[in-house]
Amino acid sequence: MARAKTGDAATEARDLMSVSAAARMLGVSPSSLRAWAAAGRVPHVRTRGGHRRFERETLVEWLRERGAGPPSGPTRTSELVPTRIPPMPEVAGLMKRSGSAIAAVFEEELSRSRALPTRGAATRRNRALESIDALAAGVASGDLSVFLRDAEWEGFRHGAAGQPGDVPITEALALRRALDRTAIPQLDDLLEERRGVERAMDRMAIRLAAGYADGVKARLRAEAR
């Protein structure tokens, strides 16, 4: 587990990256990077003011140890899974208003698939809410690139770390069922919008699985060295 270092004079003197800059380098959203840093998954430091900062060389080494960088740039998978959909701002608003309900049903659906420890419930809820926010933002603008890229990186991270692939897949399916039970029924009179949300979730599952496969390959390459 990567640990944060407390701020000191040497830390302040380094050329450190902000959360936004580091997120752009890794190809993930700032909210995802903050969550991973808080969980100790990504190396970072704290300034004297308590802000998280990321050292470029340390991040590069962290990625190198995992065999490769995170998924980024155009790939065949990305081309086969379009990121554009018709903008649906009203549907996005519905998702945001239903966020807490979706997250609660997500936890319920997930518990049907596997036993869930009480510890980590808040982290799971935050992860679900971040996914809902990213999906809502993509639905509002018609651009799912951030939502899909986060899903691909989550799969990559699990594969590179040697974690079971069914964990992120199970969570993705639980989120899909949560949407089916909460937000999507409210779109019964909006067939095209309903199909748009369903297609977005299908694309997310594909990108997540592709990211996991890339992560496994990266880990195997690293182990073979």
Question: Tens digit of pLDDT for each residue in 126-154?
Answer: 888 888 999 999 999 999 988 888 888 88
Give the pLDDT of residue 27: 63
Q: Give the pLDDT confidence of 207-221 residue by residue, as tens digits.
A: 898 888 888 887 777
Query: Does the pLDDT at position 101 exceed 80?
Result: yes
Q: Give the pLDDT confidence of 31-73 residue by residue, as tens digits.
A: 778 877 887 778 889 888 888 898 877 877 777 665 555 544 4
Domain spanning 76-224: CATH 1.10.490 = yes
SS3 per-residue string spanning 71-95: CCCCCHHHHHCCCECCCCHHHHHHH
Spatial separation of the C-alpha atoms in residues 73 and 158, rounded to whole Å: 20
Q: Which residues of 2-12 are buried (b: 16+ CB within 10 A; e: fewer)?
A: eeeeebeeebe
Judge contact between 102 and 183, C-beta under 8 A.
yes
What is the arithmetic mean of pLDDT over 185-196? 80
| CATH class of the region 4-65 | mainly alpha
| Domain locations along the chain | 4-65, 76-224
